[in-house]
Amino acid sequence: MSYTKVDYEDVEPVGDGLHFLRDPLDCENAGVSVLEADPGWTGMEHDHADDGQEEVYVLVEGSATVTVEGEDVALSAGDAVRIPADATRQIHNGDAESRFVLVGAAGE
């Protein structure tokens, strides 16, 4: 088979509504996740300096703020932000539910 298909809602979430799809999709080079965030939810501050993974966050529904290296980046539905591997990042959800598609891949 040349493709893999999965419904993210069939993948057991970890933490607070984070559906990791890398393994179910048999991804070799990219990570893909769907985050369903409750109102007021705040994610863990982190970076990917150790594994070299840059990330792109696409806000599909709702509004949120992503703090990147101490700078707040306001997002509304349809916005995307790319974050380099060594930058700290943290998602702060707005007053309503939101949904993100999170994509990560290690550089060469």
Containing domain of residue 41, as a range?
12-106
Residue 2 in domain: no
Residue 7 in domain: no
Residue 4 in domain: no
* pTM greater than the 0.75 cutoff: yes
Q: What is the CATH number of the domain that holds 18?
A: 2.60.120.10
pLDDT of residue 1: 65
pLDDT tens-digit map of 16-33 = 799 999 999 999 889 999
CA 9/CA 73 separation, integer angstroms: 28
Residue 38 in domain: yes
- Structural domains in the chain (count): 1
Residue 85 in domain: yes
- The arithmetic mean of pLDDT across residues 41-69, rounded, is 95
Spatial strand order in the sheet of 63-68? 71-76, 63-68, 89-93
Residue 88 in domain: yes
pLDDT tens-digit map of 68-107 = 999 999 999 999 999 999 999 999 999 999 999 999 997 6
Residue 1 in domain: no
Residue environment code for 23-45, b if the CB has 16+ CB neighbours within 10 A, otherwise e = ebbeeeeebbbbbbbeeebebee
For residue 24, the surrounding DSSP H or E stretch is none
